[in-house]
Amino acid sequence: MTTYNFKTDIPTLGKANVVSPLKTRIASGETPRRFISDNARVVVDVRLDRIEAILKKKKKLPSFDQAGPRENIYFDPSKLKCAIVTCGGLCPGLNDIIRSVVLELIHIYKVHTIYGIKHGLQGFIPEYEHDVLDLKPDSVAGIQNTGGSILASSRGTQDISMVVDCLERMNIGILFMVGGDGTLMASKKIAEEIEKRKLKISVIGIPKTIDNDIFLVSRSFGFDTAVDVATLAIKGAHNEAKAYPNGIGLIKLMGRHSGFLAATAALAQQDANFVLVPEIDINLDGKNGFLQCIEKRLEERQHAVIIVAEGAGQNFFTTKDNKYDPSGNIMLEDIGLFLKEKIKAWFKKKEIPISLKYIDPSYIIRSLPANANDSVFCGILGRHAVHAGMAGKTKLLISFWNNHYVHVPMDASAGKRKFMDSKESLWQSVLEATGQDIFPND
């Protein structure tokens, strides 16, 4: 069970003395807008036993700053320049986020200058010579209907001091950074360098990961779309498996360290018989092993559907020296192809004919436009990011937590990861839906 031990205070650039345009434009007789007080908080842990234990010790309940528009803001919109950058891998919803931030800044706060930084953090470094986009409503019209990012992206670290040098040269007041865990780590370092130089630049993170594994974020954008597309792959694998004697459909889904996508997609479609995730160790061989369980399934039902998350079963590989990609992530071995060969070898040895179809929809999922649910979610995240930045808050990420949008300090989330708890309802539901064994060691 997760325990929470971190500070939840959000840094600010200074006192918010500017009356928000949202307040000044309220017409006579119009219902006042709902502004959020800085005293509005959302408790971190809503479990009653935890709350009672904390109160019994006469301690303050850990809580997050609630996101939303403030009556007074820090920046003068007419003088403000903003920048937005997308980093890391592609994800459904990136263009929705860009569009939401731009339209909120221009139409609601009347900010005139918004720069789109091309190709991730490379866009701040002079030697790459990437263009900067001047973002206007026309620039973002209809981009929610296309996948990828109009700002493009890149992987890999860049010199943080050079990034901040560029922010200074461009006279940026708010930097919106959209990305996953590596981007959040970079955002934290950028904010620290800004603080070290005593600059008045707000850094707002908008968390992005299809894996849905960012710590202190209940739901990340792109995940809902990924589940939708993954279910299509599962349907195809199921149809292929049923069409042939001893048919096996094997689908590899994203999930480097956490199996949320594999588990949720399995429950959405409920055609899978086996779901393999990074959080649960598996044993291939022996009477209780995974391969024996597949054989038993074929004997009983003549077909099987297997979902494997990309980070599952890495213990099967004996590589001593880890290799890293440009973003600093460990390069995983391909568990999908590994299982494909192991399954084929197992049944060949037993002289049992099978028909195995292997499906990997990962890059299709990453580059698609967001579905309706994700698009709405991205719009809200983008607006809350703008509200936070305009209020002079900094070094935070916008999170959906306990059914509320909140500000989470970068220090509390960056460098940490959310894992699926095998004892809680999501994984237990998978076990019930599939009927699979746990594949323990003999």
Q: What is the pLDDT of residues 215-248, one digit of tens each?
A: 999 999 999 999 999 999 999 999 999 999 999 9
Dump the DSSP string for 10-49.
Answer: --BSS---EEPHHHHTPPTTPPPP-PPPTT-EEES---HH
The string of pLDDT tens digits covering residues 138-188 is 999 999 999 999 999 998 889 999 999 999 999 999 999 999 999 999 999
| Separation of alpha carbons 181 and 161, rounded Å | 20
* Same topology between domain 18-220+368-413 and domain 224-367+423-434: yes
Cβ count within 10 A of residue 85: 28
DSSP conformational letter for 373: H
pLDDT given at position 442: 47
Q: Which residues are catalytic?
A: 211
Residue 34 sits at φ, ψ, to 5 deg, of: -85, 105
221 phi and psi angles, rounded to 5 deg: -70, 150
**pLDDT value of position 36:** 95
For residues 73 and 392, is the Cβ–Cβ distance under 8 A? yes
pLDDT value of position 175: 98
**3-state class of 109 per DSSP?**
coil
**CATH of the domain spanning 18-220+368-413, picked from 3.40.50.970, 3.40.640.10, 3.40.50.450, 3.90.1150.10:** 3.40.50.450
Domain extents in the chain: 18-220+368-413, 224-367+423-434
Name the stretches of the chain with pLDDT < 50.
Answer: 1, 442
Tell which residue, 266, 317, 271, 274, has the closest CA to residue 295: 274
Instruction: Tell me the whole-structure pTM to 2 decimals.
Output: 0.93
Q: Which residues, in sequence order, are bridge partners of residue 176?
A: 84, 204
Q: What is the CATH number of domain 224-367+423-434?
A: 3.40.50.460
